[in-house]
Amino acid sequence: MNDLPVWAVRLRHERRSRKWSPKYVARQLIDAASGRIRAHMPTHESLARMVRTWEAGKHRPSEPYPQLLAQIFGVTEEELFADPPNATDSGEAPEGTLSWKAPDGDNDMERRRLLQIAAASAGIGILGVSGEPVRQLLDLSLSHDFRSGEEWEMSCDDHLHALRTRPPAQVVADLVIDLHLLRRQMETSSPAEVTGLQRVLAALSAVHGNALTRMGDHGAAVRWWHTARHAADASGDREVRLLVRGEEAGTGLYGQRTPETVLRLVRNAERIAGGPSVDLLTTQAKALSMLGKHEEARETLNALVDLAAKGATGDSIGFWKENQIYFAESWVHASAGDEDKAATARENVLRLTGDYQYGANIMLHEALCTVVRGGIDEGVRRAATVIDALSPAYRSRYILETGQMLLRAVPHDQQNRPTIGEFREVLAIEAAT
């Protein structure tokens, strides 16, 4: 991976943080120009291609574009195109700038690693979300002593809490920092210590895979699930091995994998568990529901409730919670059009969790149930209202894919209804941004 120029990273960040497409940037540039400058500008399509080449770092924008770019992004030209500050003769950065000095003397290698992580993180918006440059956060993390096992467990708890309460882009950005620190700690730890840290790596990788799925970056998410499985197996911890595989299967339902593949992942995990578990049964019930096997899905729910009644719980790390039983019930009963049972499950979810994604999705389940029962226009309008009420940063793929479930429930001969076309367009626009 080649390092991008800092100005290219900044251009891409400014655009993505506003959820603008290159074409929209091109239109803004044309609108910002005036007189002779606008008359000599290329076509809209050509200018959009130029925006892409700038962000790829192929060449720096020439006049008059630096000034126009700064104008449409609401920053100064110096802020947008300033080069990183040079170190002083003492090896320290000027006051008010970032220090690029890496610890332990491995300056060149660490600087390159930090630049790569900074470029990747800036692309997902950490510069705007975190409130300070990612390089400063990384420098801060790298300057601290390594963490104890208890501190790493607390870090896992923090990232899980973030996953349930914050935009997924922020979760990913924060995880990048801790994953980099964990890698460095593993490189200098004893074999016995590394085994324990593998458990932490598996858990953090699972959170990362989940967050990337919520962002719709399925290719990267699948690769992180591979890393999580490898780390879990290396730890030798059976609970963590099951946790990772259960989470991977569950996130697969949100546009990442087919329901058939998800069921295969569940069966593979059951072989490690020696039978069904509450986590795996919730995923199995939802996958069966997506395949239209409503009776089998209800039977799986019954098995889930029976197992939970016997005292079976999920993992001790904190991924699985009781509300997931009721969420699975809401999913299955709404898909089957069972309004009363879906409503009861929905109330239980709201009673037990403040997770914004669960809150939005169970309301989408209600809209889905309405569609299944024949109220197509009413259900679609309800769904559109739920999504519109969310801030754009919180409209994750978990939520948009639940909206897709609603579309799939509309009979084929009703797919051309105006309300369906409008809702399909809303989902497509959100997915694209």
Percent of the chain at pLDDT > 70 equals 84
Higher pLDDT, 206 or 120: 206
Beta-carbon contacts of residue 271 (< 8 Å; ≥ 6 apart): none
Higher pLDDT, 128 or 238: 238
Beta-carbon contacts of residue 186 (< 8 Å; ≥ 6 apart): 194, 197, 198, 201
Instruction: Record the tokens describing residue 239, joined without a space.
Output: 């609970």
Higher pLDDT, 430 or 91: 430
- Judged against a pLDDT cut of 70, whether residue 433 lies above it is answered with no
How far apart are alpha carbons 20 and 7 in whole angstroms? 18
What pLDDT is attached to residue 287?
98
What are the CA-CA distances from residue 246 to residues 5, 270, 410 (Å)? 40, 9, 30
Band of residue 22 on the pLDDT scale cut at 50, 70, 90: confident
How far apart are alpha carbons 113 and 106 in whole angstroms? 11
**What are the backbone angles phi and psi of residue 253, rounded to the nearest 5°?**
-70, -15
How far apart are alpha carbons 31 and 21 in whole angstroms? 15
- Judged against a pLDDT cut of 90, whether residue 228 lies above it is answered with yes
How far apart are alpha carbons 395 and 252 in whole angstroms? 18
What average pLDDT does range 348-374 have in this prediction? 93
Q: Among 25-39, 166-180, 347-361, which is the least confidently predicted range?
A: 25-39
What average pLDDT does range 197-222 have in this prediction? 95
b/e map 341-378, b = 16+ CB within 10 Å: bbbebbebbbebbebbbbbbbbbbbbbbbbbbeeebee
- Judged against a pLDDT cut of 70, whether residue 145 lies above it is answered with no
What pLDDT is attached to residue 222?
95
Q: Are 155 and 177 in contact (CB under 8 A)?
A: no
How far apart are alpha carbons 168 and 175 in whole angstroms? 10
pTM for the model stands at 0.69
Q: Among 188-192, 363-367, 378-382, which is the least confidently predicted range?
A: 188-192
pLDDT tens for each residue of 234-274: 999 999 999 999 999 999 999 999 999 999 999 999 999 99
- Position 147, amino acid: R
DSSP 3-state of 167: coil
Of 408, 413, 414, nearest in space to 364 by CA: 408
What average pLDDT does range 420-433 have in this prediction? 84
C-alpha neighbours within 13 Å on the C-beta side of residue 220: 14
How far apart are alpha carbons 286 and 275 in whole angstroms? 18
What pLDDT is attached to residue 34?
79
